[in-house]
Structure 1
Amino acid sequence: MAIVIVVAIALAGATTLGTRHILSSQLDRQLDTASARQATHPGTGTCASIPGRGPAPGSDVLGNLLSSIFVARCANGQVSASMVAEGEVNSTVTTTYPEALGELLAVPADGHRRDVDLTGLGAYRVLSQVRDGTVYVVALPMESVNHAVNALLVLEAGLTVLALTTAGVVCRRVIVTSIKPLNRLAATANQVSELDLDSGEVNLPVRVPPTLSDPATEVGQVGYAFNHMLNNVEGALEARQRSETKVRQFVADASHELRNPLASIRGYAELTHRAAHDTPEPVRHAIDRIEAQATRMSSLVEDMLLLARLDNDQTFDLVPTDLVELVLNAVSDSRAAGTDHTWTLDLPDDPVTVAADPDRLTQVITNVLSNARKHTPPGTLVATSVSIADGLATVRIADTGPGIPESVRDTVFERFARADTARTASKEGSTGLGLSIVAAVMEAHQGSVHLDSRPVGPGSEPAGDQPGQHGTTVVLTLPLA
């Protein structure tokens, strides 16, 4: 519409200028004719003019030029002026329009046509030239030209508005009709974008209908390409699912098969440790390390097996569980394991009952507390609280440690993810599965886990010893039973 408006204005302007030029050219020809006959018609502004009113010789030529003015200034300074009106010559211009007469005599006598706005008379086209020592001035009114141009402008404005309105209505209808297929393509794309494609078995039943996927049309080419893309995406998702299934099955099988050898290694290590009273110290130390690493590997295998089971079936035997009791026991155990930390509890007086698997939920809370103990320096405050709001039970575990760097903050719940070593002063090994188990178990409980961390800046000291000023906060949310 903007382009149409610009084109319409340009055409209207060009038409108006062209029409004005044509009418002005016609007026100039009349001006030349009147100027050529001025000297041969006494009484029409010549030195031979007789004052008074009467028929003008040659009025048959000048009679159609109403309000035309003829002025002659002779060599002796005498001025004669006449106005043609209704076929007669009025020679009283000198006294009737003295200001207009002065303006006409001020026009340079160089033979060039000029537009002059005469006082009391309006716009005139004026030609002034010198012949035989006499200055002849002819002025023809431009009222007809201006009237025609103004009428043309009004007509063009009306036609332009009508044309724009019609074009707008027609073009809108045509465009709306034309883009309906594109809207259907967009609706299909929106349906696909709302599907959960990040994991699991994915089915893409959405396709562009055959009527919109005919390559013979432009829209059909887009629809055909879109369907082809969906087919490729579906194939890639199926291949990814098959690969994930194989990996999960392998992890589950490997974890299961590793349990027995690891149990044997731990058993023989314990047996050797008990029987080796006279064994040299280096050998006893080696046996202790074998037993410790076998225990650690057994824990890793159990975690991997748990994650594999959760991937295959995220259902637990949920029973009403007192969350307060679980938190109290978990913090007590963590306090016994981390006597160099400061542990605080903020628990409600009444039980907080949630539908949960007690063992798995205890594992979740223990994992979070264990991370707060392992990955913070001695003397760190770890505050744990339980609250209820909007039908949800919330467990908040906050520490005043160094915090988690922003570069790894978004991946802490992924498997085998580990925070920067700057966060921890502990020498205890980490498998990187603790928080991934937390996320998987919370999802299986229809709950959620959220982490917020404010690392201490380089070279700066903690602003205080209260959680929230710095450190890491983990929030576990569960629906009430």
Structure 2
Amino acid sequence: MPSVPPSAPGEGPTGRPGPRRPDSRRPGPRRPGPRRPGPRRPGPRRTGPRLRGPRRRWSLRTRLVVSAVALIAVVGAVIGTVTTIALHSYLQGQLDSQLRESVVRSQAPRPHDPMRNQSLDFVAMGGLPIGTVGARVAPGGLVEDGARNNASTSRLPGERLDPLTGHQIAALNSVPRDGAPHTAELPGLGDYRVQFTGDGAAVLGLPLWSVDNTVGTLVLVEACVTVAGLIAAGIAGAAMVGIALRPLHRVAATATRVSELPLHQGEVALHVRVPEAEADARTEVGQVGAALNRMLGHVGSALSARQESETRVRRFVADASHELRTPLASIRGYAELTRRGRELPGPETRHALGRIESEAERMTGLVEDLLLLARLDSGRPLACESTDLSPLAVDAVSDARVAGPGHRWRLELPKDPALVLGDGDRLHQVLANLLANARTHTPEGTTVTARVVAAAGTAQPGRPAVVRLEVQDDGPGIPPDLLPRVFERFARGDASRSRAAGSTGLGLAIVQAVVAAHGGTVAVESVPGRTVFGVTLPAA
């Protein structure tokens, strides 16, 4: 009985690669052994998942297109997979039918010669595919020898056969002998459909490369068609989604226009609405547009009511301030007249008259401030003429030096005139209020610097030249909680920055209102030891 050729190293008894034994001599990474017990070094422990950077959010259009393309890709993959499996099963079934017919023909009676291999003679016959293998089974049940058909026709049958190697014969021995086709991998030849004859005396195999080539071609065609279809679907989907989202873009544009309206001050006219074509409640985008229109209507009504209330309050403040000026002037006049009368009043009476005059004067200043704010809120135009800020700064600092002799006053003026278009009296009031604020809210000995910078910056298209006015002191500074609302009306500071005689809290509010009426801006920066009020006005 012939013996099966020995297998190559690293292969199993059937010629297939077997499990490789572990080699302790092979170099590789060393596994860490058990750690010795000891004190562990303190270190930060992770108590939560690892934080990642912010993800880039996709737009709705991108998400819709990607979702559609992904769905088409899944459907195409399922269809391609089912088609490939069905075609493979069909072609393999045809090959199995051909294999059964070949097995039946190989068992046809021929002249018996014990010295010849009947199965090999059948393989050498014409009409079989190139690559057909056949082998004879020895009486012991093992495949003894076999051959492969290497050509469809030849003059001599022996020229069409290639003997099988030991590994290939071992692979044939691993095929079940149940008379049904089975797939076997022959080393060096590929996959075969192999079947033993009914009596188990021979084995016949047909190559699967024709099936594999056909299925591979189908897979390639399906992949190319799927990729082309996904590209076309992506382009068409992007266009269709873009068209479908145009109403939503128009709704967003309406909301953007509303957000750009100055709704925090002045007359409010909220007439922007979503077009009726995009406010149809029968569509999803139309529902959003209709809801936005209703919201804008409610907001417009609320703003109109607020504007009417503010207008009534301003009118009341203006009328009350105007009406209070006359009785306050009368009170001050009668108090002064009483003190200068022929009869000499007593000490208590003189003290009471002095208090009446001082309180009347203080109330008169408050009324004048309220009247000025009411006029500025109503939008009354100011005088507009070319004004040099340098002389105004000189006069304001001179007045402040007389009012606060305990402070150190400094003045920094430019060489060139600092010309602006505005009301000289109101600009002088801005300087006076800023200097009075520095004088009354800082202790004696504080250095206050008034600085005028002419034509700060270069006049460029879209960036006109400006004149900057600064009032700086080295006092204790403004409390951080008061800094954001220092320009609000009736804003009061803490005890360290409060006026001994009481502060109305309208000085800086008037500064902001006057500067805004001149088209400028005012800002403040304050830290302990340095407080700077900066006024920026357009240069003339």
**For this structure pair, what is the TM-score category when the shorter chain's length is used for normalisation?**
0.7 to 0.9
Which structure has the highest helix share of the two?
A: 1
Per the alignment, residue 509 of structure 2 pairs with 436
Secondary structure of the equivalent of 1:310?
helix
1:355, 1:480 within 8 Å by CA — same for their partners in 2?
yes
Once structures 1 and 2 are overlaid, which stretch shifts more, 4-13 or 396-405?
4-13
Per the alignment, residue 438 of structure 2 pairs with 372
Is residue 480 from structure 1 mapped to residue 513 from structure 2 by the alignment? no
CA distance in 2, matches of 1:377, 1:302: 27
Change (3 A) 1:442 1:32: same
Secondary structure of the equivalent of 2:482?
helix
**Number of residues of Structure 1 aligned to a counterpart in Structure 2:** 458
Matches within 5 A, 1:260-339: 260-274=326-340, 277-281=344-348, 283-339=349-405
CA distance in 1, matches of 2:173, 2:479: 89
Is residue 80 from structure 1 mapped to residue 172 from structure 2 by the alignment? no
Secondary structure of the equivalent of 2:148?
strand
Per the alignment, residue 239 of structure 1 pairs with 305
1:52, 1:91 within 8 Å by CA — same for their partners in 2?
no
1:119-156 per-residue CA deviation (whole Å, 9 max, x = no partner) reads: 43233345689x98x79655432212211221111211
Secondary structure of the equivalent of 2:386?
strand
CA distance in 1, matches of 2:143, 2:271: 103
Change (3 A) 1:136 1:315: farther
Per the alignment, residue 175 of structure 1 pairs with 241
Per the alignment, residue 486 of structure 2 pairs with 412
CA distance in 2, matches of 1:108, 1:380: 107
> What is the one-letter code of the residue matched to 1:79?
E
Is residue 7 from structure 1 mapped to residue 74 from structure 2 by the alignment? yes
> What is the one-letter code of the residue matched to 1:473?
V
1:360-382 per-residue CA deviation (whole Å, 9 max, x = no partner) reads: 11110111111111222332222
CA distance in 2, matches of 1:162, 1:480: 64
Secondary structure of the equivalent of 1:288?
helix
Per the alignment, residue 462 of structure 1 pairs with none
Per the alignment, residue 133 of structure 2 pairs with 69
**Selected match of 2:217 from 130, 148, 151:** 151
Q: RMSD over aligned Cα, in angstroms?
A: 3.6
Unaligned runs of 5+ in 2: 1-64, 459-464
> What is the one-letter code of the residue matched to 2:441?
H
TM-score normalised by structure 1 residue count: 0.82
Change (3 A) 1:103 1:431: farther
CA distance in 2, matches of 1:296, 1:30: 117
Residue 37 of structure 1: CA displacement?
4.8
1:376, 1:425 within 8 Å by CA — same for their partners in 2?
no
Unaligned runs of 5+ in 1: 457-469
1:413, 1:439 within 8 Å by CA — same for their partners in 2?
yes
Residue 299 of structure 1: CA displacement?
0.7
Secondary structure of the equivalent of 1:407?
coil
Once structures 1 and 2 are overlaid, which stretch shifts more, 117-126 or 432-441?
117-126
Residue 41 of structure 1: CA displacement?
5.8
Per the alignment, residue 265 of structure 2 pairs with 199
CA distance in 2, matches of 1:479, 1:287: 47
Is residue 395 from structure 1 mapped to residue 469 from structure 2 by the alignment? yes
Secondary structure of the equivalent of 2:481?
helix
Residue 101 of structure 1: CA displacement?
2.2
Secondary structure of the equivalent of 2:525?
strand
1:64, 1:87 within 8 Å by CA — same for their partners in 2?
no
Is residue 211 from structure 1 mapped to residue 284 from structure 2 by the alignment? no
Secondary structure of the equivalent of 1:406?
coil
Change (3 A) 1:135 1:304: farther
1:404, 1:423 within 8 Å by CA — same for their partners in 2?
no
1:34, 1:138 within 8 Å by CA — same for their partners in 2?
no
Is residue 164 from structure 1 mapped to residue 230 from structure 2 by the alignment? yes
CA distance in 2, matches of 1:73, 1:423: 114
1:272-306 per-residue CA deviation (whole Å, 9 max, x = no partner) reads: 4455855245x544443332222211111100000
> What is the one-letter code of the residue matched to 1:74?
A
Change (3 A) 1:104 1:322: same
Secondary structure of the equivalent of 2:134?
strand
Per the alignment, residue 461 of structure 1 pairs with none
Residue 12 of structure 1: CA displacement?
5.2
Residue 15 of structure 1: CA displacement?
2.7
TM-score normalised by structure 2 residue count: 0.74
CA distance in 2, matches of 1:348, 1:124: 101
**Selected match of 2:93 from 5, 20, 26:** 26
Percent identity of equivalent pairs: 42
2:193, 2:206 within 8 Å by CA — same for their partners in 1?
yes
CA distance in 2, matches of 1:403, 1:48: 120
Residue 97 of structure 1: CA displacement?
3.8
> What is the one-letter code of the residue matched to 1:294?
A
Change (3 A) 1:263 1:50: same
Residue 260 of structure 1: CA displacement?
1.8
